[in-house]
């Protein structure tokens, strides 16, 4: 299947849709999830156009994973949590809803409940305090 250049993340990367940025480099972008499962729910996406992780070059996978590691550490420090959950889905059959590779990074604590993803859209001003915590921990 051909990459959908009109998916949400492609539009964000082109500047056609807003986002609350946490971190950006030449190959990746980290941003706040607008439908967070928990406070601090962050996404990391490659700038390369790829639907699934297998569609990325080795260089792009390396860059993506380095950013995932950097952001996961910052989420853990910024939210002073004992763990982080990394989620990456490939294909509709796995539950991937946006056809662009992305990692979810969620701060976690034993007993902390997760809300169902996609239930409520948060405004940028609601997400900015979480983004600031993560940026400060980078």
- What CA–CA distance (Å, rounded) separates 8 from 106? 20
- Nearest 5°: the CA angle 101, 102, 105 is 160
Token readout for 72 is 């996961």
Nearest CA to 29 out of 38, 39, 41, 20 is that of 20
Respond yes or no: is residue 102 known to be catalytic. Answer: yes
Active-site choice (41, 100, 102, 104) = 102
Query: In this structure, what are the phi and psi dihedrals at residue 89, rounded to the nearest 5 degrees?
Result: -110, 140
The residues carrying an active-site annotation are 102
């Amino acid at each position: 299947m051909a990459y959908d250049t009109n998916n949400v993340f492609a539009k964000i990367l082109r500047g056609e849709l807003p986002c609350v940025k946490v971190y950006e480099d030449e190959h990746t972008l980290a941003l706040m999830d607008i439908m967070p499962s928990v406070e601090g729910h962050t996404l990391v996406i490659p700038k390369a156009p790829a639907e699934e992780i297998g569609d990325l070059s080795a260089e792009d996978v390396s860059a993506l994973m380095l950013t995932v590691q950097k952001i996961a550490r910052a989420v853990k420090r910024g939210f002073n949590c004992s763990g982080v959950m990394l989620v990456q889905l490939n294909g509709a059959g796995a539950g991937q809803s946006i056809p662009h590779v992305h990692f979810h990074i969620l701060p976690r604590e034993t007993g902390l409940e997760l809300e169902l993803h996609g239930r409520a859209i948060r405004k940028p001003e609601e997400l900015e305090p979480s983004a600031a915590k993560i940026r400060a921990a980078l």
